[in-house]
Structure 1
Amino acid sequence: MPAPLPLASDGYPLAGGVERREVSEAESVRANRGWWDAAAPAYLAEHGADLGDADFLWGPEGLREADARLLGDVAGRRVLEVGCGSAPCARWLTAAGAQVVALDLSAGMLARARELNASTGLSPTLLQADIGALPLADHSVDLACSAFGGLPFVADVRGALAEVARVLRPGGRFVASVNHPLRWPFPDSPDPADLTVVGSYFDRTPYVETDGAGTVVYVEHHRTVGDWVRDVVAAGFVLADLVEPEWTPGRTETWGQWSPARGALVPGTLVLVCDLPR
């Protein structure tokens, strides 16, 4: 087992270096599993109250599934959540009457999910697994979702989408929220004054953080809107909608580069609504 990552003063893993370079699928999986295991306590201390114990937030703008209804009626449906983190969405779905299987790459996140299952009395099934190799039978779920879960961290996203299509029943729906591709050319700042292009929207080279020895410890992958459309279609889905949530009136939460002031000007989240043909 690799040694735990050293932490910065804010509780998040300490980055020895930041660069843009290609990484393999295996390298991406290993790095992000370790990073989220180490970051889980700090991340949940910072954002846990906003995420809730049993709530379904599609992104920092404040769009909730209770209002958006992108998954439709979930009562009695078998639902897969990919990249569940501490599993607030899975518990919300459970409370709404769904039979939920929630998976995440990070044991650290799932440990907190188990604690919250116990304290809320809502117990979706939790699995540690990689979206690239889902431990589920073909056509075994009715719906699938991922709220800022695994997709931004996956190198082979087309293969991951094909895996979701494999486990969905014909006529099923997959809804996933990801970082809006438009965020990539701009600095990671919530201040609208910083909306100055500093990179190319078309540069798909992954964002990489390394430790002091140059080992990759965090990876995030950029895709354009067109890339997402092509990957969804190539996996066998029909793209039913692309949702770009506007900032929820009255919401004051600042989350990384997402803020009310910036959210009033440019989108920060893209929600892919994907249907599998019958």
Structure 2
Amino acid sequence: MIQEHEPEATRRAASDTESSRASRGWWDRNADEYQNEHGAFLGDDRFVWGPEGLDEAEAGLLGPAAELKGRHVLEIGAGAAQCSRWLAAQGARPVALDLSHRQLQHALRMGTGAEADGPTPGVSGSVELVEADAGALPFRDASFDLACSAYGAIPFVADPVRVLREVRRVLRPGGRWVFSVTHPIRWAFPDEPGPEGLSVGASYFDRTPYVEQDATGRAVYVEHHRTLGDRVRDVAAAGFRLVDLVEPEWPEWNSQEWGGWSPLRGNLIPGTAIFVCVAD
């Protein structure tokens, strides 16, 4: 969809409702472009935690792949459900949840070979698709053994503890919750892959959201910043115990640039933070 005016980038407050509405609209408008640009890297059934290319098959952050069989797994902010499709291939029983209808249409296309304009998302192969807000999960308490999110939902919500508490509610005691986000240190640097992205340009401690808004001032994209300490406290406030914090290093084989991620920056500063949590 072509907009009449280029969005204006600014820093201002953005409520949970405004952030959710902006995220749904942005991903519905940009899902096609996103999948065209990044689909080859993400694959149809690959579980990758971020632009560095760390695979769950290698990292085992959800536990040994051999132990995933039969486990009920919830993926938050699943996009086209590539991660869930990998989980299904290991014998897990995944549910892929996303706010964007268009992203889930891509999940359906990948699972069935149908066009992206095909039927309403429901089931994609052995992956169940659910369109819902991560802050109000439509599942019973203690429904899942594991939950995961690769850059989904958490960076885009004004109240991350609300989402984390919802995840805790639907997890069984002792269940593992693993999620990746942009590494908080990146907030202090320009979002540029080249040398200009290596100089601090903003305060790491400024939590004011990044907002792109249209000519009327309506937010069309919102991203929220939390410091590393904020993220740890959010995890604890939601009833989780943090058992690991993974900061993937940039591998030699990865020559791609993805937004502000690049080999140049990735070899100097972390780009992704992965929080491995257990429901107490």
TM above 0.5, yes or no, is yes
58, 63, 80: which one pairs with 1:67?
58
Separation of aligned partners in 2, 1:64 and 1:119? 24
Separation of aligned partners in 1, 2:35 and 2:76? 18
% identical equivalent positions: 58
102, 106, 109: which one pairs with 2:103?
109
Tell me the C-alpha RMSD between the 2 structures: 1.4
- The TM-score, its normalising length taken from structure 2, stands at 0.93
Report the CA distance between 1:47 and its aligned residue: 0.3
Query: Is the Cα contact below 8 Å between 2:93 and 2:126 reproduced in 1?
Result: no
79, 86, 89: which one pairs with 1:85?
79
Separation of aligned partners in 2, 1:230 and 1:109? 31
22, 27, 48: which one pairs with 2:18?
27
- Deviation readout 1:158-182 (Å, 9 max, x if unpaired): 1110000000000100000000001
Separation of aligned partners in 1, 2:191 and 2:181? 16
What's the counterpart of residue 188 of structure 2? 185
- Deviation readout 1:50-75 (Å, 9 max, x if unpaired): 01000000000110000000001311
What's the counterpart of residue 42 of structure 1? 33
Superposed, 1:72-151 pairs within 5 Å as: 72=63, 73-119=67-113, 122-151=125-154
Long gaps (5+) in structure 2: 115-123
Report the CA distance between 1:193 and its aligned residue: 4.5
Residue type at the aligned position of 2:223: E
Number of residue pairs the alignment of both structures matches: 268
- Deviation readout 1:94-140 (Å, 9 max, x if unpaired): 01100011100000101111111113973300000011000010001
Deviates more, 1:220-229 or 1:185-194: 185-194
- Deviation readout 1:2-60 (Å, 9 max, x if unpaired): xxx5359xxxxx64211111111111101110010000011111001101000000000
- Evaluate the alpha carbon distance shift between residue 203 and residue 138 of structure 1 in structure 2; reply closer, same or farther with a 3 A threshold: same
Separation of aligned partners in 2, 1:65 and 1:249? 18
Long gaps (5+) in structure 1: 9-13
What's the counterpart of residue 121 of structure 2? none
Query: Is the Cα contact below 8 Å between 1:56 and 1:88 reproduced in 2?
Result: yes
Separation of aligned partners in 1, 2:197 and 2:159? 31
- The TM-score, its normalising length taken from structure 1, stands at 0.94
Query: Is the Cα contact below 8 Å between 1:95 and 1:122 reproduced in 2?
Result: no
Query: Is the Cα contact below 8 Å between 1:15 and 1:209 reproduced in 2?
Result: no
Residue type at the aligned position of 2:2: P
What's the counterpart of residue 117 of structure 2? none
What's the counterpart of residue 11 of structure 1? none
Separation of aligned partners in 2, 1:145 and 1:177? 9
What's the counterpart of residue 8 of structure 2? 17
Report the CA distance between 1:251 and its aligned residue: 1.1
256, 259, 265: which one pairs with 2:268?
265
Report the CA distance between 1:265 and its aligned residue: 0.2
